[in-house]
Amino acid sequence: MKKQSSTNDIVILGQPFIELYGEQIGSSLKEMLSFKKTVGGSSASIAIGCARLGLRTSLISQVGEDEMGQFVINTLQKEMIDVTQVKKFSGFQTPLILRGTQSKNIFPTIFYPNAHALLRNDIDSSLINKNSTLLISAMNFFIENMNHISRKAMISANENHVKIVLALDHFPSDIAAKDITTTLQTVLPLCDIIIGHEDDFQTATGILNTHSALKHLRTLTNATLVINTEQGGFVINDQIPTPWYNTVSHTGFKVNNHYNYAAKNAFISSFLYGWLEKYPLEKCCEFAMASKIITQSRHDSTPDLPSHDELMTYLSDQNKIVTQMLEAPHFSHIHYASTHVARQEQLLAFNFGYHQQWQKIAQPFNADETIIHHAKNLVALGLKDIAANTPYSSIISDDDIQPHILELFPQEHTIMRSLESPGEIPLRFKGDPDLSHMMLHWPQNHAAKISLIYHPDDRYVLRGQQEATVNLLHRACRAMHHELFIELIPPAASLSTASTISHIMQRFYEIGIYPDWWQIMPPRDQRSWDSITRVINDNDRYCQGVMILGHLATLEQLPLMFDFACKQVFCKGFVIGRSIFQQSLEQWFARRIDDQSLIAAVATSYQKAIDLWNDARQKAEHVNASKQEVA
């Protein structure tokens, strides 16, 4: 959780890009098959790294007044970065980079037009002076106008006792080493910390021997030097020792690959987190090296930067083999859940149901497929306006629903897509068996949802089949960054106790499956809820919540169901269905009411259900507040 204050811990001056990074590691750009989009540039990447660790972070920059510029701003905002000084620039396109990871130290990069043209306007120095620390990338000094703005910012920060950090991140390849050295010499005396990779210290000084490079640097600045190497992180406050690495340090983290792109930024942001939080320098190096290793173990891109929870979990499990820890499902889940920005306080869903169910309703009225699709469209129109005014509303649909119906709902609302073949045991998916390929074409707000008929006492082979199938879906959702909803349905003929649902949840957590949301039939007793609460608390504190299933309930049955459910810690929403306006739907099929009447009945019923839920939540909150006052 970010700290509250009127000032920031760190302000970063630099340029964000739209970065398309190649997914095929070891390939050149011309051989790349696919790219992923993220916010790039070392300044933005370091800002994201700092914010994820809990530092109050601000970025000063400019983006184009276009959709990609808005993407940059939205992404930074979701990371809780102060973007009040990220200005939109009319007539200017947000810059783009294509980047690959070809080998350990080769990152082929193409800068598209205007990639170095940000920050055309001067900045207000007071914006910097309100912060405790200013970070500037060394790259800034080799970009026209950025050089002037960065120098001016450093002078103002120095005069106002704002700490200055110079990040030696990436130097332009088309500038001679002597020109790099000459350019940086005039700003080094203003720095309080100079941080970068060992190779970058050599590039900055034009000296290929690290000890000699550091000694030369010490003649130019009294700044604390923080050196990132493959062996560890090192800090030199005073004169350069012999050997140079005989100083405060942390070594010991090892990983199989040594890609060093976003990992550099992970090192920088995590060291600064420790330094700004006043940890001992050795601990700062430990944070930096751990974050570097975590980032390297993935795709070495900005989205791979660790969160605070992730970093602390990694450091608390030092007794485990590093590679095993990094690859453990629980650790991967911490990264996903703690950096996943679409968390919702509640979710109020309408389930369209399976197409076969619509056919069954329509059959007595001899309604054909055209009429059924029209009925679905009318229901969607009834839901649309209510959804637009209810931030946490959602729908569930199968793939038989028409695409234009899904387009009626706000893009920021979650749309769950039922993937299973209805009622089949073992679980089987409809449509494309390649789940990742299917999700590749989904909008970001679409989520995977399955109804799983499962019992802890099922035959061993059957349970194994079902678990393997759910695991495939879970892995696809994580790979494609889509949420996963699992609806648990014990078989009708099986014995269910107060602990049946919690035992199923526990089993899936044990095999490394962590759905974003669970959906269950509303338990009728407190013991069942207590068991569910205990299992979620023990296994997944990031779980977004439990939704109760009311898709067979009428409006008259909802108050009792909601009143009990809203008293439970993890109950965060509901799923309802056609049963809340079943009579109106049948009247429409019988042609006793017109289209507008059905639309109105749907809207009124859905709004009524939402109102009943909100009333139940308010009553539960009032009761809890009263209990706290008594205590």
User: Alpha helices of 259-368 — where are they, by DSSP H?
Assistant: 262-276, 281-296, 308-316, 322-327, 329-339, 355-362
Mean pLDDT over each residue of the chain, to the nearest integer: 90
More confident call, 410 vs 2: 410
| Phi and psi at residue 202, to the nearest 5° | -65, -40
- Contact (CB, 8 A) for 137 and 167: yes
Q: Does a cis peptide bond (omega within 30 degrees of 0) precede residue 280?
A: no
- pLDDT at position 146: 85
Residue 172 has pLDDT above 80, yes or no: no
Distance of CA 51 to the CA centre of its chain: 13
Compute how many other C-beta atoms are within 10 angstroms of the C-beta atom of residue 370: 8
Q: Six-digit token pair at 9?
A: 């811990």
pLDDT digits (tens, 9 = 90+) for 112-138: 865 555 555 667 777 787 788 999 999
Tell me the average pLDDT across 499-520: 98
> How far apart are the C-alpha atoms of 267 and 258, rounded to whole Å?
13
User: What is the CATH code for 10-339?
Assistant: 3.40.1190.20
Phi-psi region of 41 (alpha: psi -120 to 50; beta: other; left: phi over 0): left
Q: Look at residue 244 in the predicted model and tell me its pLDDT.
A: 96
Please report the sign of the dihedral spanned by the C-alpha atoms of residue 277, residue 280, residue 281, residue 283.
negative
Average pLDDT over residues 477-501: 94
What does each C-alpha distance from 68 to 47, 158, 410, 568 come to in angstroms? 18, 34, 20, 41
CA distance 92 to 139: 21
Domain ranges of the chain: 10-339, 347-630
pLDDT exceeding 90 applies to what percent of the chain?
69
Mean pLDDT, to the nearest integer, of 553-559?
A: 96
Q: Which residues contact 11 (CB under 8 A, 6 or more apart)?
A: 57, 58, 59, 60, 127, 128, 131, 133, 134, 135
Name the band, by pLDDT with cuts 50, 70 and 90, for residue 297: confident
User: Pick the residue with more confidence: 47 or 623?
Assistant: 47
pLDDT reported for residue 25: 82
pLDDT tens by residue, 424-469:
999 999 988 899 999 999 999 999 999 999 999 999 999 999 999 9
Fold of 347-630: TIM Barrel (3.20.20)
Residue 489 burial (C-beta neighbours within 10 Å; 0-12, 13-18, 19+): middle
DSSP state of 175: S
| Highest mean pLDDT: which range of 170-174, 269-273, 323-327 | 269-273
Model confidence at 87: pLDDT above 80: yes
User: Of 20-34, 172-186, 360-374, 497-511, which range is least confident?
Assistant: 172-186
Instruction: Summarize the confidence of residues 63-90 as an average pLDDT.
Output: 93
Average pLDDT over residues 573-580: 97
359 has pLDDT over 90 = yes
Run of H or E including 261: none
Q: Is 546 exposed, middle or buried (0-12, 13-18, 19+ CB in 10 A)?
A: buried
Closest Cα to residue 278, out of 51, 9, 1, 13?
A: 9
pLDDT of the residue at 624: 75
d(CA 243, CA 197): 17
- pLDDT at 1 (0 to 100): 45
How many other β-carbons are positioned within 10 Å of the β-carbon of residue 220?
Answer: 18
Please, what is the end-to-end C-alpha distance for the chain in angstroms?
27
Q: What distance in Å separates the CA atoms of residue 311 and residue 297, rounded to the nearest whole number?
A: 13
Cα–Cα distance measured from residue 241 to residue 215, given in angstroms and rounded to the nearest whole number: 9
Residue 101's pLDDT band, with cuts at 50, 70 and 90, is confident
Q: Would you say the C-alpha torsion 74, 78, 79, 83 has a positive or negative sign?
A: positive
pLDDT above 70 coverage of the chain, percent: 93
pLDDT higher at 599 or 173:
599
* Largest separation between any pair of C-alpha atoms in the chain: 93
102 has pLDDT over 90 = no
Type of residue found at 64: G
Whether the pLDDT of residue 529 is over 90: the answer is yes
What gap in Å lies between CA 170 and CA 181, rounded to an integer?
A: 14
| pLDDT over 50 at 165, yes or no | yes
